[in-house]
Structure 1
Amino acid sequence: MCAKLEKQHTDQITYEGLLKGNKDWVAATLDEDPGFFDRLSAGQAPPVLWIGCSDSRVPANQITNTMPGDIFVHRNIANVVAHTDMNLLSVLDYSVNVLKIKHIIVCGHYGCGGVNAALGDKQVGLIDNWLRHIKDVIRMHERELSTIKDPVKKSNRLVELNAIEGAANVMSTSIVQNAWAGGQELSVHAWAYSLQTGLIKDLQVSASSADDLSPVFKMNAGK
């Protein structure tokens, strides 16, 4: 029933409707706060970088009850953090070195289609190569995951592990390590979001200095 209602809702979304929705939103926003867009256009100084999944049901601002301008956002399929992803690295570099954000959050979500696909062996398409990053997480945690027989629980745990490994990958970048070496206030966290409850789970994996890094990833800044 829920899926049917969701389909009916999305069927009503049209190109013209999006433009009208924008005008309605602007009018309602100005009615409530006439100076909103003046402040918004003056510049951004978000304290948070959000690295999340592209899933349309996980909008960073809405689920954290924040406003436009509060969170700098990067999203991709299954919130993967890969050291070869120049898109992500560019976002990370700008947010850390220009915006001077104070928190980086890698947030996965339970029921993630990318994570579920990585758990299987069916070819999907080009995305199979992207999901290899998640399969690497499975390989690293194979012993733990192999003990979980329930497919939903296994998927949920992989969502958490993928976010945790993503946060670890963020911590080990030269961008973050150089910021820490320079005394910049910066913390990295891993979260998981539930579509069923709307609640975020803090995975209790946070770091605010290179002391929290594995020695193999530590680099001497500028050397």
Structure 2
Amino acid sequence: MHYHDYQDLISNNLLWVKEKLAEDESYFDKLSQGQKPPFLFIGCSDSRMPLNGFTKTGPGELFIHRNVANQVSLTDMNLLAVLEYAVEVLQVKHIVVCGHHRCGGVEAAYKGNATGAVGNWVNPIRELYLKNRQELDAIPTEQERLNRLSEYNVIAQVANICKTSALNRAMQSGSFPQVHGWVLEITTGRIKDLPLPLEEWRELGIVP
């Protein structure tokens, strides 16, 4: 469905409400009772990344934070507040950092042409590219290099999650959520569950 006018959003909301009430007349009464989502999703702000759609989840099932190129900045108070609330109050069971192929933020970092606030924001991805430049430049096509950089970025952000004080407190308590790194393959709609270097992270003391 494509939206061509602002009013379409309001009209479609009314249609959605009617559909939900037709399925279950107490749907919104139940929804208003509170939330206990098992998942925290940290994703990219890209308009093609509706996480509820790709995972077939509904309201109340995902606690979501999104920003350009799914960054986990240890100085981002917005993200840190979301993370702390998800872990300590909602007690989520899983934290997923979800990036995607054909990400504009990753491409801008790779090409080094991002400016202003966006340039500052994606600079960690630029540094990630430069750190792995020899390996990435050996990949045959630019799109494959960008896809791989997106995956590197996700893994780096999962590591950052594990370095936060909220996760450290949870780990010390012995009860903490599992962390995961996903990449959405835009051309197929499939989610790629990335292997994480957990043994290496254990040796570094990032995870117990």
TM-score (structure 2 length as normaliser): 0.93
> Corresponding residue for 1:187?
178
C-alpha RMSD of matched pairs (Å): 2.1
Contact 2:40 2:63 in 1 (8 A): yes
Structure 1 segments unaligned to the other structure (5+ residues): 1-5
Contact 2:39 2:96 in 1 (8 A): yes
Matched, 1:22 2:13: yes
Provide the C-alpha distance between the structure 1 equivalents of 2:126 and 2:203, rounded to a whole number of angstroms. Answer: 21
- List, as ranges, runs of 4+ consecutive aligned residues in structure 1 with deviation greater than 4 Å: 216-219
Deviates more, 1:134-143 or 1:20-29: 134-143
Partner secondary structure for residue 91 of structure 1: helix
Partner secondary structure for residue 74 of structure 2: coil
Provide the C-alpha distance between the structure 1 equivalents of 2:114 and 2:74, rounded to a whole number of angstroms. Answer: 24
Following superposition of structure 1 onto structure 2, how do residues 173-184 of structure 1 map, counting pairs within 5 Å? 173-184=164-175
Partner secondary structure for residue 107 of structure 1: strand
Matched, 1:153 2:140: no
Contact 2:162 2:207 in 1 (8 A): no
Q: Which amino acid aligns with 1:215?
A: L
Instruction: Kindly state the Cα deviation for residue 217 of structure 1 after the two structures are TM-superposed.
Output: 4.6
Instruction: Kindly state the Cα deviation for residue 206 of structure 1 after the two structures are TM-superposed.
Output: 7.5
Residue in structure 1 matching 2:31, options 28, 40, 55: 40
> Corresponding residue for 1:215?
204
* CA gap 1:203/1:18 in 2 versus in 1, 3 angstroms: same
Provide the C-alpha distance between the structure 1 equivalents of 2:91 and 2:51, rounded to a whole number of angstroms. Answer: 19
Contact 2:96 2:182 in 1 (8 A): yes
Provide the C-alpha distance between the structure 2 equivalents of 1:206 and 1:38, rounded to a whole number of angstroms. Answer: 43
* CA gap 1:37/1:206 in 2 versus in 1, 3 angstroms: farther
Partner secondary structure for residue 52 of structure 1: strand
Residue by residue over 1:154-185, the C-alpha shift from the partner in whole angstroms, topping out at 9 and shown as x without a partner, is 00000100000000110121211210110214
Provide the C-alpha distance between the structure 2 equivalents of 1:53 and 1:206, rounded to a whole number of angstroms. Answer: 22
Partner secondary structure for residue 179 of structure 1: helix
Partner secondary structure for residue 43 of structure 1: coil
> Corresponding residue for 1:63?
54
* CA gap 1:218/1:201 in 2 versus in 1, 3 angstroms: closer
* CA gap 1:206/1:199 in 2 versus in 1, 3 angstroms: farther
Q: Which amino acid aligns with 1:15?
A: Y
Structure 2 segments unaligned to the other structure (5+ residues): none
Using the aligned pairs only, state the percent identity: 44
> Corresponding residue for 1:132?
123
Provide the C-alpha distance between the structure 2 equivalents of 1:131 and 1:80, rounded to a whole number of angstroms. Answer: 8
